[in-house]
Structure 1
């Protein structure tokens, strides 16, 4: 004998009998450290085409989530109607954590504010998982068309040209569109909206001189700002961006209480169990905060968020309330 006690051959049978007795008596088995989720492949719906911010956020954690949990995690792009096509699919999905959506401020907040009937209610049909990333918008001018160097000069320049100032965005109801509406309301200025076919096209229109000013996502204007074709006057975040450290925040530029971000978040169908939501949120948050993942996202202009379902739910409700006020003041209603 080597001194190691061996379990008798009938021990497994006794253990199964004991577990069956506990079940018969209604006594739960001891909780495992990790649940059995996922039991099969997970689908991450993305309501926009590949290469956009929501797609980037989804792919940032999908591979690692698959590695950590041992099941395929498939990113499925379902673009259409500013996110409404994928959102309706999510609303009808089984609430078991195997279908989720990585979407934008548009899909999870602005559609509910702007459209008469988007076909879903993000506060009723979805369950919050976690805020994934945020990115500030940047107020940029084409210096050849708008020869201004700071916010005060821009406001004076705009007020001297009522009805003759245009701004470009990726589309009606986009984050840059609503950000400009908030800006004009707070500064008493006017700017006519020129919606484009996407963020890249809006930047091209501004570089061509078609429009003098715009709010754009940080990642889309770093190059033109660094080479001098566009001039950045402020970032709409509480802190300066390490990618454009010389550009002041809105508060530093003279516009306090203008902390505005575009964002991407993860949501599940309504009625997904709360413990499962917390488990998934913790897993995604851990992946997003891994140094390699965080560095890759931050190099593209994103700020890693993460957090609990409760934290994201409170944030989402506040965003919907804020942008509803802006849309009502601007009388923006879409069919």
Structure 2
């Protein structure tokens, strides 16, 4: 009798220990239990880097673990986007995917598409812009356009992103809208707008097409002159800078966007924590002040809406890139 009682008691204790151990393991397994890597596919100092870092700091504050930003550049955005898509889908590698993900595969740079990601949300949208260095003789988009049309081919060089990237398409689409072959001004690939702008200031290229927000520091320092923005209306931070429509009569508009995503197949439990935390970060006064202070556009689209938005953008850009001769 005593033996049976002891065995029964031992079983109860073992069961209790098992439940306790299981509870500890479950708590330990709750995401995030360790630091999270946030991959930025473009160079330090650019717009994507800035957005990635402010979001990482706010997610770290909300979720209680470090969110460490890593810049993985190269291949016109392919390297960084690939490192996000091919990471273990456990929630410990996420990143900022950019508009190039619906363009790179059309250019033949990669087989990656927007379908290779678990998308949490869209957090930004910026119209393109046209800029020259302070020493440029061109004071308007119309003057630069006329020079591109009349001077010998290859007189001008442009930059702003990688070959076949969003700002390359921004330039090419503008030229096509004006009846000009985009190849008259060769494109110099860069790892984002920040290095392209530095190259332009140093005299390496003649103009940069990227968001005016990304050039804001150099514009305010007097090193760069904005000639136009490629949106539908003037920007609040640069109210004196005309749209392309106002400057040259062109109907061409283009913009870049950024989304937070991880590799395809991330656990739903991770997404169920990441998306609300990201929305809280997006709605925070810190994020709003940061974005507005730098002239970055704020747009929120949650997972399903963001994926639908990318699907349409993918089809639209493929058609435009074919016309521009950028589709491979």
Does the pair score TM above 0.5? yes
* CA–CA distance in structure 2, aligned partners of residues 84 and 194 of structure 1: 18
| Aligned-pair CA distance for 1:205 | 4.8
Q: Is the 8 A contact 1:140 1:215 kept in 2?
A: yes
Residue 178 of structure 1 and its aligned partner are, at CA, apart by 1.3
Residue 163 of structure 1 is matched in structure 2 by 153
Counterpart contact for 2:216–2:294, Cα < 8 Å: no
1:292 maps to 2:286:
yes
Unmatched tracts of structure 1, length 5 or more: 1-12, 21-34
Residue number in structure 2 paired with 1:113? 106
Q: Does residue 321 in structure 1 map to residue 315 in structure 2?
A: yes
Whole-angstrom distance in 2 between the partners of 1:213 and 1:93: 36
**Which structure's residues are more often helix, by fraction?**
2
Give me the whole-angstrom Cα distance separating, in 1, the residues matched to 2:260 and 2:65: 18
Q: Superposition pairs for residues 1-335 of structure 1, below 5 Å? A: 36-106=30-100, 108-116=101-109, 118=110, 120-141=111-132, 145-149=136-140, 151-161=141-151, 163=153, 165-170=155-160, 171-190=162-181, 191-195=184-188, 197-198=190-191, 199-207=193-201, 211-223=205-217, 225-226=219-220, 230-253=224-247, 255=249, 257-273=251-267, 276-277=270-271, 279-332=273-326
5+ long unaligned stretches in structure 2: 1-11, 20-28
CA change 1:274–1:261 in 2 (3 A) is farther
Is the contact made by 1:138 and 1:236 (CA closer than 8 Å) also made in structure 2? yes
How many residues are treated as equivalent by the alignment? 300
**Offset of residue 234 of structure 1:** 1.7
CA distance in 2, matches of 1:224, 1:88: 31
Q: 1:53 touches 1:264 (CA, 8 Å); kept in 2?
A: no
Deviations, residues 48-76 of structure 1 (Å, cap 9, x unaligned) = 34333332222112122122222332223
Any idea what the Cα deviations from partners look like across 1:103-158, whole Å, max 9, x if unmatched?
3222x222222125x1x422332122111223332113458655453x45544443
Q: Which moved more, 1:177-186 or 1:300-309?
A: 300-309
Q: Corresponding residue for 2:4?
A: none
SS state at 1:178 partner:
helix
Residues of 2 paired with 1:122 and 1:200: CA distance?
Answer: 25
* CA shift in 2, pair 1:143/1:57, >3 Å: closer
Say whether the 8 Å CA contact 1:42–1:74 is kept in structure 2.
yes
- Spell out, residue by residue over 1:143-198, the C-alpha distance to the aligned partner (whole angstroms, 9 max, x if none): 8655453x455444433336255232143223221110111111112441241545
TM-score (norm 2): 0.76
Q: Deviations over 1:205-253 (max 9, x none)?
A: 5446665443133234335545666543321223322221111233444
Query: Could you tell me whether the CA contact under 8 Å between 1:177 and 1:193 is conserved in 2?
Result: no
- SS of the residue 2:32 aligns to: coil
Secondary structure at the counterpart of residue 301 of structure 2: coil
